[in-house]
């Protein structure tokens, strides 16, 4: 990710624009920042200003034309939430499955996928889990299983053109927990 577009992604996520769930914005911001080399954000205040302006905070979309081309057509920001407790329970189960589709050329949010997942092994959320994630029992009760949600993710990705071999996309997470551990 180039410096300019990285600053743009950070600015976009600072606006809280589009339909991205507000409780996920801090993690999405951190995930995008993790793509950038240390110190990159110090020199991008004008880029951040332009991006904020492009979301109705002052200027026009013409400022977007200065961003360099990206290797990926789309950045897919992913941030699972899972069952948890102190001490840690095993297995942890995904209870929230959100994806934000960010256009790699315009840095605009084009689409989101969001579903809650009914846990099976630990169906009752712990008070610690609710406090940590903000997810209450009523949000997961009666929701689809992980298998059903994965099928819907596949349908959403197909509908969004993300499964086309000519479309280059990459999942972006905050650290390795979402895709390595979970």
Q: Select from 136, 106, 147, 149 the least CA-distant residue to 8.
A: 106
Residue 47 lies in a domain: no
Let me know if residue 88 belongs to a domain: yes
Is 64 contained in some domain? no
Helices 25-34 and 3-15, packing angle to 10 deg:
170
Which pLDDT belongs to residue 120?
98
CA dihedral 138, 21, 101, 174 (to 10 degrees): -90
Q: Would residue 176 count as lying in a domain?
A: yes
15 domain residue, yes or no: no
Q: Which domain holds residue 89?
A: 74-181
pLDDT at 122: 97
CATH number at residue 130: 3.30.420.10
Query: What pLDDT score does 137 carry?
Result: 98
Q: Are 167 and 73 a contacting pair, CB within 8 Å?
A: yes
How do residues 24-64 score in pLDDT, each as one tens digit? 656 665 555 555 444 434 444 444 444 444 444 333 344 45
> What's the CA gap between 47 and 44, in Å, rounded?
5
DSSP annotation of 62 reads: G
- Looking at the DSSP bridge assignments, the partners of residue 101 are 76, 111
Per the domain annotation, does 93 fall within a domain?
A: yes
For 18, the 3-state DSSP assignment is coil
User: Under a CB-based contact definition with an 8 Å cutoff, are residues 124 and 89 in contact?
Assistant: no
Number of domains in the chain: 1
Q: Which residues pair with 172 in a beta bridge?
A: 77
Point out the residues of the chain with pLDDT beneath 70.
1-67
25, part of any domain: no
Q: What are residue 1's DSSP bridge partners?
A: none
Instruction: Give the per-residue pLDDT at 66.
Output: 60
pLDDT at residue 26, as a whole number: 60
Element (H, E) at 146: helix 146-159
Does residue 147 form part of some domain? yes
């Amino acid at each position: 990710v180039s410096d300019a577009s990285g600053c743009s992604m950070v600015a976009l996520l600072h606006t809280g624009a589009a339909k991205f769930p507000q409780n996920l914005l801090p993690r999405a911001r951190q995930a995008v920042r993790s793509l950038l080399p240390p110190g990159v954000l110090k020199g991008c205040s004008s880029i951040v200003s332009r991006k904020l302006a492009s979301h109705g905070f002052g200027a026009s979309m013409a400022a977007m034309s200065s961003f360099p081309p990206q290797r990926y057509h789309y950045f897919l920001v992913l941030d699972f939430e899972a069952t948890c407790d102190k001490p840690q329970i095993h297995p942890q189960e995904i209870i929230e499955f959100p994806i934000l589709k960010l256009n790699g050329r315009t840095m605009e949010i084009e689409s989101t996928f969001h579903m809650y997942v009914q846990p099976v092994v630990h169906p009752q959320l712990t008070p610690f889990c609710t406090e940590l994630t903000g997810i209450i029992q009523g949000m997961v009760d009666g929701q689809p299983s992980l298998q059903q949600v994965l099928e819907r993710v596949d349908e959403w990705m197909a509908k969004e053109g993300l499964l086309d071999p000519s479309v280059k996309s990459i999942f972006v997470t905050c650290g390795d927990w979402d895709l390595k551990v979970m």
